[in-house]
Amino acid sequence: MTLLEVNDLAVEFTTAEGIVQAVKGIDFAVARGQTLGIVGESGSGKSVTSLAVMGLHRGAKVTGSVRFEGTELIGAPDETVRRLRGRRMAMVFQDALTALHPYFTIGDQIAEAHREHHGSSRKESWARAVEVLGDVGIPEPARRAGEYPHQFSGGMRQRAMIALALSCEPDLIIADEPTTALDVTVQAQVLDLLMRLKDERGLGIIVITHDLGVIARVADEVLVMYGGAAVEQAGAERLFTAPRHPYTRGLLESLPRLDAADGEPLHAIPGNPPSLLAPPAGCVFHPRCPVYAAADTGQRELCTAARPPLRLLADGHRNACVRSEETT
């Protein structure tokens, strides 16, 4: 059975300015031992998606289907989802300095989760906290467990955050920008740690990032999001070598290259991400899309008529662009 299956997920927020459709029509699945990378820029809905899977949206309307080992979570009693949170699926947040509680020691924060889910004693849960801190490579874990988050370095804090996620031996870990706040060297260490744990324990992992470098390093499967919609999905290698969607191509071309000729300008996608309050009609990307810009009026109607869903191509590649066959 697939570990996690998400179908037609949509999240709506009601704000003072109107209803914001943060994400819509998201489908993906994660198997044990597999890493799914979700990539997109700020506001693309990647974090909203991950919080929806964890059932952490409060005051938002979440529809569609999230199945964890076959159990439907959308519309399930809060208590059912709470028992899964932390225990079977755990989350690693972006900035461990703000995501860890400043008033409690690292050990206490990890032990608390263990006590909640396993009914363990203070002594047992503390021992478990020290153990996982050791697992993630924190030196002198017994001593450091008694320290507060502000006494840890950035990399160590992120490891502690991962230790917290691991403490109850979950089956799925969702890491939301786990390395964004870190130096490149520390970033590599943290990613390697996640991958090692995935292999050793057969975890399913979702890595959410705006950093294509991180995706290239860890992901088996990649979902590209734009303006609250999924625009392309493929195996990591395929996506990087043969991207289909104009947005994905734009992203890849925007990466600075060392082998570029001197004086060659950096590529950028023109324009700004769409407003989710009043998204563009049809394909959300069309106002910034080079294919749309190059098309004549008759062809353009294809792009603006309706929001194109991800369509499965013969090779397992999924693409939402209605015109990409012509441009491939």
Partner 1 sequence: MTGFLIRRLFGIAVTLLVVCAVTFCIFYLLPNDPAVQFCGKDCPPDRVAEVRQQMGLNAPLIVQFGRYVLAIFAGRTMGSGSYAVQCHFPCFGYSFQSGRPVWDLMMDRLPTSASLAIGAAVIWLLLGLAAGVLSALRKNTWIDRTVMVATIGVAALPVYFTAMILLYVVVVVLGLMPYPRYVAFTDDPFGWVQNLLLPWTTLALTFAAIYARMTRSSVIETLAEPYVRTARAKGLRERRVVGRHGLRPALTPIATMLGMDLGGLLAGALITESLFGLPGVGKLFADSLAKSDQPVVMGITLLASFFIITSNLVVDLVYAWIDPRARVS
Contacts with partner 1, residue ranges (CB under 8 A): 54, 56, 78, 82-87, 90-91, 93, 95, 98-103, 112-113, 116-117, 148, 150, 164, 168
In the complex, least distance from residue 82 CB atom to partner 1, rounded to whole angstroms: 5
- Cβ-count burial of 122 within 10 angstroms (0-12 exposed, 13-18 middle, 19+ buried)? exposed
Query: Is residue 300 within a helix (H) or strand (E), and if so which, with residue range?
Result: helix 297-305
Question: Looking at this protein, which amino acid is placed at residue 42?
Answer: S
**Cβ atoms < 10 Å from Cβ of 14:** 11
User: In this structure, what token pair is assigned to residue 201?
Assistant: 């324990």
In the complex, least distance from residue 265 CB atom to partner 1, rounded to whole angstroms: 38
User: In this structure, what token pair is assigned to residue 53?
Assistant: 């899977």
Question: Looking at this protein, which amino acid is placed at residue 236?
Answer: A
In the complex, least distance from residue 106 CB atom to partner 1, rounded to whole angstroms: 11
Query: Which residues does 183 contact at the CB level (< 8 Å), separation at least 6?
Result: 154, 155
CB closer to partner 1 out of 38 and 289: 38
CB closer to partner 1 out of 146 and 287: 146
CB closer to partner 1 out of 101 and 122: 101
CA 67 to chain CA centroid, Å, is: 17
In the complex, least distance from residue 76 CB atom to partner 1, rounded to whole angstroms: 14
User: What is the C-alpha to C-alpha distance for residues 253 and 311, in angstroms, rounded to an integer?
Assistant: 23
CB closer to partner 1 out of 41 and 108: 108
CB closer to partner 1 out of 71 and 241: 71
In the complex, least distance from residue 56 CB atom to partner 1, rounded to whole angstroms: 6
